[in-house]
Amino acid sequence: MKDMLTKWSSKISNDDKMEIEVSKWFVRLLEDVIIHALFGRNYEEYGKFIFKLQAQQKVYATKAYEQISIPGYRFLPTKKNIIAWRLERDVRKTFMKLIEHRRKRLYCRDDHDIQTEDGPKDLLEVMIKTSSTNPNICSLSTGIINIDEIIDECKTIFFAAKYSTSNMLTWTTVLLAMNPHWQELARDEVFKVCGARDAPSKDDIPKLSTLGMILNESLRLYPPVAAAIRQAKMDTKLGGLNLPKGTELLIPIIGIHHDSTLWGEDVNEFNPARFAHGVAQAAKSPMAFMPFGLGARHCIGQNLAIIEAKVVMSMILMRFSFQLAPTYRHAPAIRLFLCPQHGAPIIFQKL
Ligand code: HEM
């Protein structure tokens, strides 16, 4: 993070202003955070390679999402499908290599000792330890989860964590650029809570309540994940609806967040104060706010995402004031995730 801000500062000479397209920077920042949290420092190369492959996958997935879906089409060996299948194979192979390497380092040394008695250092280590009930057996199939499940979890986290959190940061920066009053309130709070520290400490994070309200309002107006999907596992009665087993439901998170019967007449306005008394009091229903989904399968990364966003936004607010660039065009679009279609050019000035 400090690296990114130093680069921004060096682009701005003296008290000049500088235009920065923030969405690209936030994506790169999130890649670093995820690689370190999931794999640890030594696996940067693998991580970067997987991100490169997934970025290509996203292009194909977005195109497929925007096209009319013809049943069975995805199984045909068209040029696009062949490329998509190859990318999927390569992602899997790279994860497999990485997990194998890590597992060997953990358990399969010559002396067959467990390498460390310490607690797990990152998420991958947690999963590897869960996958093997007997660490002296060099296998990933004796435990609660197997290698295919570990790979699937890694794929989801790599993809979901990067684009969702970077979009939240982008929209929050755009909204604070559009609303200088709230930008000022957030900055005042950051200085008051963090004092002379150049980044918030672990104890500062929960005290940044205005910033928390701003992040919630940003997630309400521009939820990075615009909808969730559920399938009825059995014949179900839901309110007045009878849902036969197998029925798929699309829960329109973005629609619920913009429903004036739940949020009031100012539903389309940026008003973080609506969250002043907590999420449950912000709307007519305590379930109306669902940027991370609801229920047993809600997002596992919710707390991490909010901590990341508080750290990033407060470090920016400490150093710069910012406003929208004249080239900014407001055009939210769903490209798998809800993002600004033409990017987010912002003008930064050193404080
Ligand atoms: C602003 C950031 C984020 C948003 C808006 C977001 C949103 C969501 C949503 C809406 C779901 C689906 C929940 C449902 O179906 O009910 C989900 C699932 C998930 N998210 Fe996130 N997410 C974010 C960040 C993260 C991060 C940082 C991670 C990982 C470190 C993560 C990992 C996951 C995983 C693994 C699932 C699947 C959970 C399951 O199926 O049990 N997400 N997220």
If you measure from the C-alpha of residue 92 to the centroid of ligand 1, how many angstroms do you get, rounded to a whole number? Answer: 21
If you measure from the C-alpha of residue 351 to the centroid of ligand 1, how many angstroms do you get, rounded to a whole number? Answer: 35
Q: What is the pLDDT of residue 50?
A: 74
Residues having CB within 6 Å of any atom of ligand 1: 156-157, 160-161, 164-165, 168, 224-225, 228, 291-294, 297-301, 304-305
Q: What is the pLDDT of residue 106?
A: 75
| Model confidence pLDDT, tens digit, residues 122-166 | 788 888 888 765 554 455 555 577 888 888 888 888 888 888 999
Distant-in-sequence contacts of 48-54, Cβ < 8 A, 24+ apart: 49/94, 50/91, 50/94, 50/95, 50/158, 51/158, 51/162, 53/87, 53/90, 53/91, 53/94, 54/91, 54/155, 54/158, 54/159, 54/162
Residue nearest to atom 3 of ligand 1 (CA): 164
Q: What is the pLDDT of residue 75?
A: 74
Q: Any idea which residue has 């296998």 for tokens? A: 139
Q: How far apart are CA 213 and CA 336, in angstroms?
A: 25
> Within the chain, which residues score under 70 in pLDDT?
14-15, 41-44, 60-69, 73, 108-120, 132-143
Q: What is the pLDDT of residue 101?
A: 80
Q: Is 339 annotated as a binding residue?
A: no
Both structure tokens of 309: 């966003």
User: Which atom of ligand 1 lies closest to the CA of 153?
Assistant: 35
Superfamily classification of domain 1-133+146-225+259-350: Cytochrome P450 (1.10.630.10)
